[in-house]
Structures are given as C-alpha cells and as structure tokens.
A and B are shown apart, each in its own frame.
Chain A
Amino acid sequence: MSHGLQVLDAAGHVTWDSNTSVGGVLVDMLQASTSTAVVRTYPAFAGRSARVLQADGTDDMSATVDTALGFPRVTIPVTGGWQAFYAVFCL
C-alpha cells in the first residue's frame, strides 16, 4: 500500500486495510424502544451521510436518516414489544 493503515495479527496477516474497507464506519448500536422513538444525532460527522442497517437479522427496515441539521440524525420508530437492534454507519 502507498498510504493508509493496516492492522496485522500476531501471525503477520493483514486483518484490516483502510484501502479495501468500504461502507463507512460503525458509530452506534441502537435498541428500539417500546414507548418512544429513539433519536440520535452525530455532530462529529458534520457534512457526512449515514446508513442504518437492521442489526439482528430481522426484516424491519423502518429507521430513517436525515441531514437537515448538517450532520446525520437517525430516528428509530417505536417497536411493538420485541427487541430490535440497529447499526448506524457514518460515511
């Protein structure tokens, strides 16, 4: 590599390389609430976008992302009683 960062394990294998990594950086893991929507903002990532993935393998993809504040804001709607987890990536 000509630039960037690599992480190596004890055997010398490159286990992570900034030049081949994509998709943003994981900044938060959120659990939906049964009573109120969960809203989180990420001002440290001003000017960037975000992507929310359902983190537990279920199929509710109702989280929303906006940047009206100039940085990512994520809204997780109220869940119906089950535990639901979301991963927030900032790009």
Chain B
Amino acid sequence: MSYGLRIVNPAGEIVLDADASGHTYVGNATVTGAQTKFLSQLSPWHLEWVAPDTSVVPMFALRADSASVVAGGGAYRTGSVWTIIVHCVALAGCAGYATLANYTPTVYVFAPGAHADSHGLRLFNSAGGISYDLARPPLGVREVVTFPARAGYLSTAGVPSGDWAAYADGDAVAVTSGLTAAAIVGASTGYRLAQWVDTGEPDIEWGYGWTLSAGQLRRVRFWRSDGRPYASLDDYPAQTDQELHLPACTAYLADPTYLT
C-alpha cells in the first residue's frame, strides 16, 4: 500500500488494513430447518442470513464449544438469501444413533459495509468506499490450528495400521490462546470420511465434527451414513475391511465472547 492505515501484530502479520474487505460482525444466522434423524441418516440443520444486496459475500463462523459437535456442510445463495448447512449434535451421546441428540448450532456472520451505530471508527479504501466500520468488531482471529492428513487401515483380522487411532479416538490439536469456545472459520469439516469398504465400494461413511474443551480442538466421529440404525459408531458387520481418510485442514479460531 502507498498510503492509508495498516496495523501489524507483534509477529509481523497484517491484522487490519484499509485495503482489506472490511468484514465485521453483523449478527447470527437464523435457524430455518431443524436437523432430523432417519434410518441412520442425519439430515442437517439449515440456517439463513439475508444480505443487504447480492454483491455481498459474507464470512460464516461456526461456534465450537465443549457441549456440542459441529460440522459445516456447505453454504449457497439464492439472490441475496444465504443458506448455511450445519450438522450439530450434543457431545454427550454422540457416538450412538439412539443417543444422538440435536444441538442448535450458532453461526456468526461477518460482512462488509457501514453500520447505523452513532459511534466508532471508519476506515476508507483508495476508492473512497468504507473498508471498515469499527462500530462492530472485525473478524478477530486468535489462533490458527492445522490438522494433518490421516490415513489408516484396520484389516479383517483386526490389525490396525497407520493412523487408525485417529479414527477410533478422534484427532486433536492444542489450543494455546486460552479460548474456551471458538468461532471457527474455514475448517473444512463436512463429510470427513472413514469408510467401511466391501467389494471395493464404501458402504459406510463416518462424518467428523469439531468440539473444543480442555485446551484442545478435536475432530471427532459423531454420525455415519448407512441404511440401518446402529448402537454405536463401531457397530458394523464383522469381517470387514476399513479405511480411514482424513484430509489435512486449517482452522481459524476467533473469540465469540462478545459476538452478540
């Protein structure tokens, strides 16, 4: 930049810039459809946010905490109406179909533009447009965490190899910023796959979601896709080959404390 305001944190990263997109917190998405269970399928939550016009592309953040397991399933727009798809269940009982309990998700919305508040600070970009209206907090990322790719295998004889434990026990990284809940951005959470394979085709797939507790962000199994109710996530026919494929992903964690 040749002029304007730029703020750099002690680590040398830009954290505010007059040429940035200026996304600030504008509210939460509204639940329009509840999650339902049917024959082991988990039809997700649907939430909605209406943009002020069709040019606005918002940033959504899912609340991750110690009480729930949450996973994004995509977002799409029809005109200025945005629909966000989310799986979210209570952490307690999440490993069995009978005990799987809905948990209402919280989706924070960040968008550019001016606010009606009578106080604050505005930054303008080189074109004269408002890049930030700091009457509302900007997206404040407190920590960046990265999960590695995982691959493992359980033979028909029950012999694990590779990262099989990451499938069975969940995958975790330490959260060192002290957050006890997070507005989680960008984590590619939908339909992480662990597959039961029979005759070369996956017959059962497990979904993973996020939970945050005791200083750890974990991605854990909480539902699976097949045609029958199950007693537990590990309730599958004997004599099967199982494969695990968990892609690497990066999550941005923001503090949701004052996003109200």
A50-91 CB mask vs B (1 if < 8 Å, else 0) is 010111111111000000000000000000001101010111
How many A-B pairs fall under 8 Å by CB? 155
User: Contacting A58 at CB < 8 Å: which of B19, B21, B139, B190?
Assistant: B190
Contact A85–B19 (Cβ < 8 Å): no
User: Given that A56-B75, A57-B188 are known contacts, is A28 also in contact with B21, CB under 8 Å in the complex?
Assistant: yes
For the complex, is B103 an interface residue (Cβ under 8 Å from A)? no
Interface 0/1 of B169-183, CB less than 8 Å to A: 000000001000000
User: Is there contact, CB below 8 Å, between B137 and A15?
Assistant: yes
Contact partner of A27 among B19, B185, B189, CB < 8 A? Answer: B19
Q: Count residues of chain B with CB under 8 A from any CB of chain A.
A: 58
Which listed segment binds A: B9-17, B30-38, B94-102, B223-231? B9-17
Q: In the complex the two chains form, is B190's CB within 8 Å of A5's CB?
A: no
B220 lies within 8 A of chain A by Cβ: no
A8-21, CB under 8 A of B: which get 1 and which 0? Answer: 01100101111111
Could you tell me if B60 and A26 are in contact, using CB atoms closer than 8 angstroms?
Answer: no
* B15, A22: Cβ atoms closer than 8 Å: yes
- B140: which A residues are within 8 A, CB to CB? 15-17, 20-21
Q: Which of A15, A24, A29 is close to B14, meaning CB atoms less than 8 Å apart?
A: A24
Q: How many residues of A contact B (CB 8 A)?
A: 43
Interface members, chain B 80-116 (any A CB < 8 Å): 84-86, 110
Instruction: Kindly list chain A residues whose C-beta atoms are within 8 Å of the C-beta of B10.
Output: 19
A23 & B75 in contact (Cβ 8 Å cutoff): no
19 of the cross-chain contacts (CB-CB < 8 Å) are: A7-B121, A10-B119, A13-B258, A15-B140, A19-B9, A21-B16, A44-B19, A45-B17, A53-B186, A53-B187, A55-B60, A55-B75, A57-B187, A58-B188, A59-B190, A61-B188, A82-B74, A82-B76, A87-B59
Task: Using CB atoms and an 8 Å cutoff, list the residues of chain B in contact with chain A.
Answer: 1, 7, 9-11, 13-17, 19-21, 23, 57-60, 62, 71-77, 84-86, 110, 119, 121, 126, 134, 137-144, 177, 185-192, 247-250, 252, 257-258
